[in-house]
Amino acid sequence: MSDFYEWIRVSFQALAQEGTIPQAFEYGFVINALLCALLIGPLLGGVGTMVVAKRMAFFSQSIGNAAMTGVAIGVLLGESYTEPYISMFCFCILFALLLNYTKGRTQLSSDTLIGVFLSVSLAVGASLLLFVSAKVNTHILEAVLFGSVLTVSNTDMNVLLVVTLVILAVGTPLFNKMLLASLNPSLARARKVPVELMEYIFVLMITLLTVACLKIVGAVLVEALLLIPAAAARNVISSLRGFVILSMIFSTISCIAGVLIPMQFDLPLPSGGAIIMVAASFFIITTIIRATFPAYKEARN
Amino acid sequence: MPGPSIQCRQLNLTLSGIEILSAIDLTIRAGEIHCVIGPNGGGKTSFVRSLLGQMPHSGDVEFTWESTDTPKSKTCTKTCTKTSQHTIGYVPQFLDFDKSLPISVYDFMAMICNQYKPAFAGFGRGNREITEQALERVGLHGKSKTQLGSLSGGERQRMLFAQALIPQPELLVLDEPMTSLDNRGEEIFLSLIQELQSQGVTIIWIAHDLQQVRELASSVSCINRTLVYAGPPEPFLDSDEAAQLFRFTRPLSTPPKPSTDPDAELQHE
């Protein structure tokens, strides 16, 4: 796989030297960042529509927080502090399964329960992470929270690629069933959809996605990138197809622009922050469009 | 394709310590229109969901499917009703969803019909025609591109009926389908119910309007925590007991016109 990445990097660098594409592409890390952006953009945009339709935004936020604990545990257990994937995956998957299991077996409403998990995971994650970063490397905290796309390694790209393929292979054929399971569980059961299983599969998808995107977008902001492009698309679209496609487009443009603009203008911004700011501008624009043109207003009533 | 007969014995349902249903013995014959009536909060929906195996009930529920080639009887106890090879159409009471979601009627139907092709990628082979036919039957043709959030309550109910027709059901379960229907929708529903019965479909219908029950039901069960009555509709509906139970719901002689307000459904149970 690394040969393949190398080949892409070399071809881009050649193009940059010829002057066909901007000078920044002479650097290998810029090309890495761009490749990641091209992968996570459509992925987060597509899955984001499901997150919005299933009202699971805060669920993914708490997984993001859990990932901080995962990083800290990984470092404490002696994993490399730049790639503690084993600990992150293990801890986040356990956390997600526990949350989903509890959700089905408590009297609490799901937003209360997720609120509890969200704050606990933030408290534990922040405490452990601060403890670890003081001991090992103070830059861990910043990178984990807000992403540092310029330090993306081949391992990071492999993880991201595998997760993308898994989510495509699982999420595409089960899309209808997962959506129906949350729209009306009773109807879904009558139609022989295993509702509980679908919930678990979706939760695991979100978990894999969150961990794989941590390096690029950051723990705090993964959820934002799931949510904002889909919310922006929803403002101006009336069919499911348009919703998914537009959300993917918004998300991809946000990722690419969020990675390239700070580099081009030499701005010391964390990649996650930049990506979300671009995404937010899409949301603002679509909100204005929706408020301005009566056609959109009517469609809502 | 003939519908199943359903027999339940000593069906009990307790949810978080509260007894919802107790000791219900009931037989629903194949191919009949069976109306479930009873006061609001009496456990009608819970009863029907228990029959469908969606509730943690105790007691036996037995479906007997009479297939034309090999007669087979599937017996299941406890929480399982093995109906995997058979088609159950289900019309929920209403669809609870975020009204601003960009899902059109076509998207919803594609989500229901398509096996693996995601709804956003359009219909799978032949599913568009099947959907068109079903929407035509409930009088919703021409609404295919409308968003769910923009449909009226009655139209949404008709769409839910349309999905229950795909594929042709052997057992049709209707949970208070008339709640938010307009007059035309009601006519469509009543004629569809009759049409399906003539094809041999077994129909379980949680009904509100006792006049409609009187006209269409082959048998009736009245559920109020337990089974109050089971049998033909007339004797019960004319009894003092029924008058007592339904005094506060709709009077028999003048069924009121259901509201067409999309939010009306929220005021019911």
Asked if B225 contacts B266 with a C-beta cutoff of 8 angstroms, the reply is no
Degrees (nearest 5) of the Cα angle B132, B135, B140? 125
- pLDDT over 70 for what percent of chain A? 98
User: Is residue B269 very low, low, confident or very high in pLDDT (cuts 50, 70, 90)?
Assistant: very low
Q: Report which DSSP code applies to B126.
A: T
User: Would you place residue B66 in the very low, low, confident or very high pLDDT band (cuts 50, 70, 90)?
Assistant: confident
DSSP symbols for B151-164: S-HHHHHHHHHHHH
Cβ neighbourhood burial of A149 (10 Å; 0-12, 13-18, 19+): buried
In chain A, domain spans: 2-6+24-211+219-300
Distance CA A128, CA A116 (A): 18
Q: Among 3.40.50.620, 3.40.50.300, 3.40.50.800, 3.40.630.10, what is the CATH number of B1-87+170-269?
A: 3.40.50.300
Higher pLDDT, A58 or B73: A58
Report CB contact under 8 Å: B92, A237: no
In this predicted model, what pLDDT tens digit does every residue of A176-228 receive, in sequence order? 999 999 888 889 998 989 999 999 999 999 999 999 998 888 888 888 999 99
Q: Kindly state the average pLDDT of the residues A144-155.
A: 84
Say how far apart CA B201 and CA B170 lie, in whole Å.
Answer: 5
CATH number, domain A2-6+24-211+219-300, options 3.40.50.720, 1.10.3470.10, 3.30.1020.10, 3.40.50.280? 1.10.3470.10
Contact between residue B176 and residue B157 where contact means Cβ atoms under 8 Å apart: no
What would the pLDDT profile of B113-159 be if each residue is shown by its tens digit?
Answer: 998 899 999 898 889 999 999 999 998 888 888 888 888 888 888 99
Q: Which residue, among B97, B101, B166, would best test binding to A if mutated, counting the most A CBs under 10 Å from its CB? A: B101
Contacts of A233 in chain B (CB under 8 A): 102
Residue of chain B nearest A53, judged by CA positions: B101
| From-to residues of CATH 3.40.50.300 in chain B | 1-87+170-269
CA distances from A230 to A221, A262, B210 (A): 15, 24, 46
How distant, in Å, are the alpha carbons of B11, B35, B44, B45, B267 from that of B41? Answer: 18, 16, 8, 9, 13
Residues of B in contact with A238 (CB under 8 A): 102, 104, 145, 147
Rounded mean pLDDT of B29-44?
Answer: 89
More confident residue, A166 or B78: A166
Contact: B92, A187; criterion CB under 8 Å: yes
How far apart are the C-alpha atoms of B157 and B178, rounded to whole Å?
Answer: 8
Residue B268: pLDDT above 50? no
In this complex, is the C-beta atom of B144 within 8 Å of any C-beta atom belonging to chain A? Answer: no
